[in-house]
Amino acid sequence: MRKSITLLFFIYLAHGIAIRAQSIRENTEDTLLAITNDTSAGKLSLNISTSNFVKDNEYFNRMVEGYTLIGFWAEPTLEYTIGNRTSIRAGLSTVRFFGKDGFYNTEPILSIRHAFTPNISLTMGSLPYSQHGIPDPLLDPERFYLHRVDNGALIQLTASRIYSDTWLSWDRFSFYGDTVQELISAGNGSRITLLNNERFQIQLPIYLIITHRGGQLVRPKQPIETLVNVGSGISLLWQINRLTIELNPNYFLYRKLTSHPSQPFSEGWAIYPVLKLSNNHVVWEAWWWDGHNFIAPKGEKIFTQISTYDNNLTISNHDVLVNKLSYRAPIATGLQLEAAFESFYLPAEERMDYNFLVHLNWNFTYHLLQLNSKK
């Protein structure tokens, strides 16, 4: 089965390299940690990225309980360029939550990135944090605090009308004598621009998330599990002076590819229409989530149909109306303020839950030395 999921992933990888739009907009975390093609041989640079944050989830529904994340993460790294196509990045990623002894997570960063052409690059090792253009119900944005580093491989394609992120992450390793299964995740976030003029744009997004739990060496033998989320839609964007309007209806499918009854649902679907208005530093978003027997193992918890704290509770239909107002702006050199308020109306429970967040994101880059001159 692991061979099957690997084959499926690389078939989609080849497909994804032909289908993602270049015009996808950067979010905060991509802006903080992007690695560009603009390199020069022998250049050694220091980069320090940090975020002091608070996110308060006031949730009282049946599927997920509320909690507060308050603390900071820091990622100091050194980057050395070899030629004008290859760079090596090494450093540390650490997360600390206030009120908890020690660090929540600390792990090394080491990656090599090579640009085969100006449009295609491969990164192996520690991957820079990104949402890969995947919507929140499929890929939880709280990875920004809880799981900043994936380890594996990332292929990126950037062309005039295509942008594609395809990645593989080895989340848990197993070997001889281990009693826990290996965990692997992979995905692709792609967009293709069908029409692009000064005031109107049409894009085709494609999303894929695969999770696999298995391992032949684990004792005792345990059932394997492979889950797939795939989706697409259409993105319509209008530019009216400083106002950008985006309408993005999406449709998602869920499938369990393995036969063992490891989940309450083997297949399902969801619709996810999104309306987004943005003007300078302010963004308002509204969307409707209508899920039917839908499982997204990497998705945001409030959209789940399996309770995170009551193992006996599952719901076959799950509707959520979401409104989000966010603000993001630079306030000093390298320092950015981000704040957001998000509400969730659950009609089945006649309940309104909400969260709010405040981030101070700081990014500092300093050129240390040039080891040799570019000729």
Give yes or no for a contact between 254 and 269, defined as CB atoms under 8 angstroms apart: yes
Q: What is the pLDDT of residues 122-180, one digit of tens each?
A: 999 999 999 999 999 999 999 999 999 999 999 999 998 999 999 999 999 999 989 99
The residues near 259 (Cβ < 8 Å, ≥ 6 apart) are none
Question: Cα dist. 152→5, 176, 199 in Å?
Answer: 16, 21, 39
Q: Are 144 and 129 in contact (CB under 8 A)?
A: yes
The ranges assigned to domains in the chain are 2-370
| pLDDT digit string, tens, across residues 29-77 | 343 334 444 446 889 999 999 999 999 999 999 999 999 999 999 999 9
> For residue 15, how many other CB atoms are within 10 A of its CB?
15
The per-residue pLDDT of the chain, averaged, comes to: 90
What does the DSSP 8-state code read for residue 136? T
Residue 155 tokens read as 């292929």
Q: Please tell me the distance from the alpha carbon of residue 139 to that of residue 110, in angstroms, as a whole number.
A: 24
Give the pLDDT confidence score for residue 177 in this predicted structure.
Answer: 86
Tokens coding 167: 């990645």
At 323-333, the pLDDT tens digits run: 999 999 999 99
Q: Is residue 3 scored above 80 in pLDDT? A: no
- Residues 76-99: tens digit of each pLDDT: 999 999 988 999 999 999 999 999
Instruction: Write the CATH number of the domain with boundaries 2-370.
Output: 2.40.160
In the numeric block, the tokens 């309306």 are attached to: 275
* Across 204-222, average pLDDT: 93
Q: For residue range 234-292, list pLDDT tens digits in order.
A: 999 999 999 999 999 999 999 999 999 999 999 999 999 999 999 999 999 999 999 99
**Is the peptide bond preceding residue 273 cis, with omega within 30 degrees of 0?**
no
Summarised one tens digit per residue, pLDDT across range 291-307 is: 999 999 999 999 999 99
Tell me if 137 sits within 8 A of 270, measured CB to CB.
yes
Asked whether residue 181 carries a pLDDT value surpassing 60, the answer given is: yes
pLDDT of residue 40: 67
How is residue 299 written in tokens?
A: 């998705």
Can you spell out the DSSP letters for 184-226? EEEEEEEEEEEEE-SSEEEEEEEEEEEEEEE-TT-SS----EE
In order, the DSSP letters of 274-332 are EEEEEETTEEEEEEEEEEES---TTS-GGG-SB-SS-TT-B-SEEEEEEEEEEEEEEEE
Mean pLDDT of 331-337: 97
pTM of the model: 0.87
pLDDT digits (tens, 9 = 90+) for 343-355: 999 999 999 999 9
